[in-house]
Amino acid sequence: MDELRLKLAIQKSGRLTDPSLDLLLRCGLKISRGKDQLMAYGENMPLDVLFVRDDDIPDLVQEDVCDLGLVGRNVLEEKRLELAARGHPARFQPVRTLDFGRCRLALAVPEGTAFEGPRTLRGKRIATTYPFLLENYLRERDVAAEIVTLSGAVEIAPRLGRADLICDLVSTGSTLQANHLREVETVLESHAVLIRTPLGLPPVKDEWVQRLLMRIDGVQQVRESKYIMLHAPRAALGEIRKLLPGSESPTIIPLEGFPDRVAIHAVCRENVFWETLESLKKAGASALLVLPVEKMLA
């Protein structure tokens, strides 16, 4: 195996797989992936992608089997606490917060059960696949409860009589609702994270890590960004600039034959909604055009 190629671990099949592959694709990576293959070869970058279970990603990176990994903060923090309990520091290093995989680790009680803050948990049995995060949460609040560690299907534990409540990942809440559970407390807010090995890399590899990071920043910036063009009365410039969401320095261009009007071009770092366009029009703007931004490099 080529020692000068970067190895990046992502989830093989699950919620993080598509958004992870999409991010790499937007960073310009072309890979060939056979179904069920463990590794995909980067055709246009010295970077190969390893497909593994998400729980294995922190170890693979910290043991230097992979240089980089894309994994949920929930998995990382659970691993960090597990290592700490065994007297080891976590050695993987988070390098970027990513804009996908958003969810939260939350406590949920069966519908119709009262909940009056963490002390309600005293003496209760709580089912979870995140025993270390839950234990940490309970310890910080000085509550003694029983942690029932499961490997999956946490949401049905109360109905099976295995627990009084659960501590599980939630994004929309529809799974909880389907299981007649009510979310009551957030234990951890989560999103996907890019982690790297603690070890120094040879310069060629390190340079590619830096390039990848820059491209990731660019991709994340443009996802929300829009390019807006409009005509406006010179007199309304101040008001119109205030209405442009998240734009720093718009370009102002004189309009041939219209001394009182200018064209304004700006990159908006937030989405531009119909309401904004309507306010701009009210302020005297015309010929409004909003375009998606494809790539950005600061």
Q: Give residues in contact with ligand ATP (CB under 6 A).
A: 11, 14-16, 53-55, 72, 74-75, 101, 103, 169-171, 190
Cβ distance to ligand ATP smaller for residue 176 or 244: 176
Does the footprint of Zn ion cover residue 168 (CB under 5 A)? Answer: no
Residue 169 · residue 73 · CB < 8 Å: no
Residue 151 Cβ, how far from ligand ATP at the closest point, in Å? 10
103 binds, among ligand ATP, Zn ion, none (CB under 5 to 8 A by kind): ligand ATP
Within the chain, where are the H helices? Answer: 17-26, 57-62, 73-85, 131-140, 174-178, 203-224, 237-243, 274-282
- Which one, 14 or 46, has the nearer CB to ligand ATP? 14
Q: Which one of 40, 49, 54, 266 is in contact with Zn ion (CB under 5 A)?
A: 54
- Stretch of 25-33, 53-61, 180-188, 284-292 contacting Zn ion, by CB under 5 A: 53-61
Nearer to ligand ATP, 74 or 136 (CB): 74
Give the Cα separation of 212 and 288 in Å (integer). 35
Q: Are 78 and 149 in contact (CB under 8 A)?
A: no
Q: With contact defined as beta carbons under 8 Å apart, do 15 and 171 qualify? A: no
Nearer to ligand ATP, 68 or 170 (CB): 170
DSSP letters spanning 173-222:
SHHHHHTTEEEEEEEEEE-EEEEE-SS---HHHHHHHHHHHHHHHHHHHH
With CB under 5 A as the contact rule, which of the stretches 46-54, 118-126, 166-174, 180-188 interacts with Zn ion? Answer: 46-54
Residue 129 CB, shortest distance to Zn ion, in Å, is 8
Q: Which CB, 75 or 266, lies closer to ligand ATP?
A: 75
Q: How far apart are CA 195 and CA 266, in angstroms?
A: 34
Contacts with Zn ion, residue ranges (CB under 5 A): 54-55
